Amino acid sequence: MSEGMISALVQAPFVLAIVYVVLRILTYLNARDREWRAFIERRDMLLAGHLDELNESIHELTNLMMTHDAVMRAALLNRPQEAGPPARQAVSAAPEKAASGGACPRT
């Protein structure tokens, strides 16, 4: 036998062992990649669901705020006109109460 043939026969088991180890590593990595992709897909689906819920909540809150603003505007427009804001009335009434012996409110 030639020296090249003997060398190939000696190296063949080592090459096959290396190929086997590399194949096992690639199989392991492929399995971990599938697990990771499944995890990412589940997480993305949950995130999309939460974003849908958040979007719906924002729309409901916006509608509630608009309704509240409309009710408050209507209430302010329909209230009777007073001589002044309540804060001024309380302050202007304080000297009268003090003169009459009443307690003076602290503001």
Global pTM reads: 0.49
Residue 98 pLDDT > 60, yes or no? Answer: no
Q: Where are the domains of the chain?
A: 3-98
Residue-wise pLDDT tens digits, 39-51 = 999 999 999 999 9
Which uninterrupted H or E stretch holds 81?
A: none
Summarised one tens digit per residue, pLDDT across range 36-93 is 999 999 999 999 999 999 999 999 999 999 999 999 999 999 887 765 555 555 455 5
**Distance of alpha carbon 83 from alpha carbon 89, whole angstroms:** 8
